[in-house]
Amino acid sequence: MSKDNNCIFCTKINCKVVSSNKYFFVIRDTSYPVTKHHTLIISNRHVSDYFDLNIDELDYLNKELKKQKEKLVELDNKITGFNIGVNVGKDSGQSILHCHIHLIPRRKGDVKDPRGGVRGVIPSKQKYSKV
């Protein structure tokens, strides 16, 4: 399995693992959480991004996303939605060049108008002009 000793995710520095399987480990983002229980699903193999995952890893990733969603809803019954995010490349905002997926719990009223969700990565594009 590929590892990079200079990578914070490969070395698991400051990572409190809450779950793992043969392809991924899961942590809560305690450094820069968007919401309470913001979760990161991180590849065990050092690959730079989502598009470098193989078919077996992608299959496990989908299973892990669903598993973590269920665990988070059990942990906090105020969770009513989720954003799933993946940054690919520095120009998208990726700051750690090791594949990781953000599972961000949402709650009713956590923002005034959540419409447009992930479109908010470019703030001027988040709101629909005719809704």
Do the beta carbons of residue 92 and residue 48 sit within 8 Å? no
pLDDT tens track for 57-97: 999 999 999 999 999 999 999 999 999 999 999 999 999 99
Query: What percentage of the chain carries pLDDT values higher than 70?
Result: 98
Q: Is the pTM of this model over 0.85?
A: yes
Task: Tell me the two tokens of residue 75.
Answer: 């942990």
Which stretch of DSSP H or E encloses residue 61?
helix 55-75
Considering only residues 61 and 120, tell me which one the structure prediction assigns the higher pLDDT. Answer: 61
> Alpha carbon of 123 to those of 58, 115, 117, 127: distances in Å?
29, 12, 10, 8
pLDDT tens sequence across 15-35? 899 999 999 999 999 999 999
Q: Which residue has the higher pLDDT, 13 or 65?
A: 65
Residue 78 DSSP class: T
In this structure, CATH architecture of domain 8-126 = 2-Layer Sandwich (3.30)
- Name the amino acid, one letter, at 5: N
CB atoms within 10 A of CB 12: 13
- pLDDT of 130 reads 67
How is the chain split into domains, by residue range? 8-126
Q: In which residue are the tokens 């000793």 written?
A: 5
